[in-house]
Structures are given as structure tokens and as C-alpha cells.
């Protein structure tokens, strides 16, 4: 078995990368675990439209029967939306390929596959961060993979301040997109100031290019706040997260199950508004990533 046997890049994505066109990688965990089943296909379609509307090609990532896919056909994407799927992280990729397993990619796995396919940009809702002594696989992958990640801060239950300190230690640039404060996922701000911010996607693309031209081996974190109309107020978000974490402890939910569980609990406690916010910010990030990727391709 060699990389060509394990990795399948769709013709559209392969040609876009080959000719230097804009491409945005996407993970499939949200489709398989966070979004209610009846709405998954529509959300996938909306995400693709957001990326294409920003001038880029969408590249969904997944592992299907041991094949590492970058770019999915409608039938393959439909399978992700319909069938129960394991969550595949970076650690799981070798076993999934060798044992012909199937699963939806986390951010860490999607970053690996994006890099293998030559894709420079990835859109996520939130990135995994630091919580106590635990450092997310997403964060570690961001530090060593030359892919720029557009997200709205760190996922629920992660420590934003500790995450920013970790990224500074690892030399990963963090750039605010139209904001001088780090976003707090479902809220527009965490109250944490950023040293670097830009107003234009072209400037973000130049920063990413400079990072890689300088030989930095890792990625860039492009922090894009949630749309104002969709986000929660900080006090409400803090209260809801506290209640959701209490439920997680009571039910002994941890590991890969924690983030989808917390989002489901938050959605229940806010009559669905938290889930609406999570979907809105992911679509917004997909659109933003596409525009930055488009500007990068012009360089």
C-alpha cells in the first residue's frame, strides 16, 4: 500500500490545485455528528454554495472504506449525511486506511488530508484548543501543517487564553479578520486582544504567503467572528456552557463525544439558537476562507 492507493483526490479538486486555483478544505464531523440528520444535506449544499460564492472549490474530506478522500461526489457526501459515522482524528488515519474503516474527519484529520492534497486553506466552526493539561489534536496539527485555518475561536469548553499562549509559544500567527479581539465561538469576542488584525482578505492572504515563504512549517489561524445577527450574548453563552458541562460530567461524556454533546445541550437550552449560531458561523467562515484562498491564488 502506498499513498496513491490510500488517497483519492476528486478530479475537480486535483485540477484546481494543479492549476493554482483557490480550494478550501472542509471536515465532515459537523455533518455526521453535530447537525440534526434531516438538515445535513441542506447544510452541506449551503456550505458548498458559500465556498463557491467566495471564488473557491469546496473539498470535503472523509474516510470511506479505508480510502482517504479529498473532495466528495454527491453520492459520497450523501453517505456521510445518512449513515452513522465514527469520528476520525489524525491519530486514527493509519488504522482507518489499513483496516478499511469509514468515518467523518475531525479538523486535525482534515488538515492532514488537505496538506497531502496541496490545499492551503481550511474552514472550520471552531478549532480545538487547550483545556487544563490537554492540548487538542487540532491545535497540534495546526502547529505543524502548512494550512491556514479560518475559524471563530476555540470550541466549547476550551480555554481561549491558554490556547493563544500555546500558539504564541509554537510560533503560529493569529490574525483577526475585521476584529482586534479573539472570537469566542458562539460569541463575537472573548475579551482577549489580538496583536494582528486585518480588514481585507487580500492582506490575510499576504500574511499566509509570507509565513510559508519564510519557511514556517506550520499554519496560520485566521480568527473570524460569528455573524452579529446569529451569535449569543456572552452572559448567556457562559450560563449555557456551564449547564452543558454539568450535564457532560453527570453523564460521563468526554473525548470525541464531548463537543457534539455540548453543542446539542446548548441548542436545547437556547431553543435551537446555539445550533443556528454554530451553523451560521461555519457558513460565514467557509465564505471567508474562500475569499482569502481566492486572493492567495492571485498572488
Quick count: other Cβ atoms within 10 Å of Cβ 82?
12
pLDDT digits (tens, 9 = 90+) for 92-103: 999 999 999 999
Quick count: other Cβ atoms within 10 Å of Cβ 231?
24
pLDDT digits (tens, 9 = 90+) for 145-201: 999 999 999 988 689 999 999 999 999 999 999 999 999 999 998 999 999 999 999
The whole-number average pLDDT for the span 270-279 is 92
Please give the helix or strand (H or E) that residue 20 lies within, else none: none
| Backbone angles phi and psi of 176, in degrees to 5 | -80, 130
Closest by CA position to 123, among listed 289, 298, 1: 289
- For domain 3-298, give the CATH number: 3.40.1790.10
Confidence of residue 231 (pLDDT cuts 50, 70, 90): confident
Residue reference for cell 467557509: 286
pLDDT at 162 (0 to 100) = 95
Domain ranges in the chain are 3-298
pLDDT at 233 (0 to 100) = 86
SS (H, E, C) 35-50: CCHHHHHHHHHHHHHH
pLDDT digits (tens, 9 = 90+) for 45-62: 999 999 999 999 999 999
The Cα 181–Cα 142 span in angstroms is 20
pLDDT at 260 (0 to 100) = 82
| Backbone angles phi and psi of 116, in degrees to 5 | -60, -35
Quick count: other Cβ atoms within 10 Å of Cβ 130?
20
pLDDT digits (tens, 9 = 90+) for 98-155: 999 999 999 999 999 999 999 999 999 999 999 888 899 999 999 999 999 999 999 8
pLDDT at 1 (0 to 100) = 65
SS3 259: helix
Q: Are β-strands 103-105 and 86-88 bridged in parallel, bridged antiparallel, or unpaired?
A: parallel
Q: How many helices (H) and strands (E) does the chain have?
A: 13, 13
pLDDT at 114 (0 to 100) = 98
Quick count: other Cβ atoms within 10 Å of Cβ 255?
8
Please compute, for residue 148, the number of CA atoms within 13 A of its CA located in the half-sphere on the CB side: 33
Amino acid at each position: 500500500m502506498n499513498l496513491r492507493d490510500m488517497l483519492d483526490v476528486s478530479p475537480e479538486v486535483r485540477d484546481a490545485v494543479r492549476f493554482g486555483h483557490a480550494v478550501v478544505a472542509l471536515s465532515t464531523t459537523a455533518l455526521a455528528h453535530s447537525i440534526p440528520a434531516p438538515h445535513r444535506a441542506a447544510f452541506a449544499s449551503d456550505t458548498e454554495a458559500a465556498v463557491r460564492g467566495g471564488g473557491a472549490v469546496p473539498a470535503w474530506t472523509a474516510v470511506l472504506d479505508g480510502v482517504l478522500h479529498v473532495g466528495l461526489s454527491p453520492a459520497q457526501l450523501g453517505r456521510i449525511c445518512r449513515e452513522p459515522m465514527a469520528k476520525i482524528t489524525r491519530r486514527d488515519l493509519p488504522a482507518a486506511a489499513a483496516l478499511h474503516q469509514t468515518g467523518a474527519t475531525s479538523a486535525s484529520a482534515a488538515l492532514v488530508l488537505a496538506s497531502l492534497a496541496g490545499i492551503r486553506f481550511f474552514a472550520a466552526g471552531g478549532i480545538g484548543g487547550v483545556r487544563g493539561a490537554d492540548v487538542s489534536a487540532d491545535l497540534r496539527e495546526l502547529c505543524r501543517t502548512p494550512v491556514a485555518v479560518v475559524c471563530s475561536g476555540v470550541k466549547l469548553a476550551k480555554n481561549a487564553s491558554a490556547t493563544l499562549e500555546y500558539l504564541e509559544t509554537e510560533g503560529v500567527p493569529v490574525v483577526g479578520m475585521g476584529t482586534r479581539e479573539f472570537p469566542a465561538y458562539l460569541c463575537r469576542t472573548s475579551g482577549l486582544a489580538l496583536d494582528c488584525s486585518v480588514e481585507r482578505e487580500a492582506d490575510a492572504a499576504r500574511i499566509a504567503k509570507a509565513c510559508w515563504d519564510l519557511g514556517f512549517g506550520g499554519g496560520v489561524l485566521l480568527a473570524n467572528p460569528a455573524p452579529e445577527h446569529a451569535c449569543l450574548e456572552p452572559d448567556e453563552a457562559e450560563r449555557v456552557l456551564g449547564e452543558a458541562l454539568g450535564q457532560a460530567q453527570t453523564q460521563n461524556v468526554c473525548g470525541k463525544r464531548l463537543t457534539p454533546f455540548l453543542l446539542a445541550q446548548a441548542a436545547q437550552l437556547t431553543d435551537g439558537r446555539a445550533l443556528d449560531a454554530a451553523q451560521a458561523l461555519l457558513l460565514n467562515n467557509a465564505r471567508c476562507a474562500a475569499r482569502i484562498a481566492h486572493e492567495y491564488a492571485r498572488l
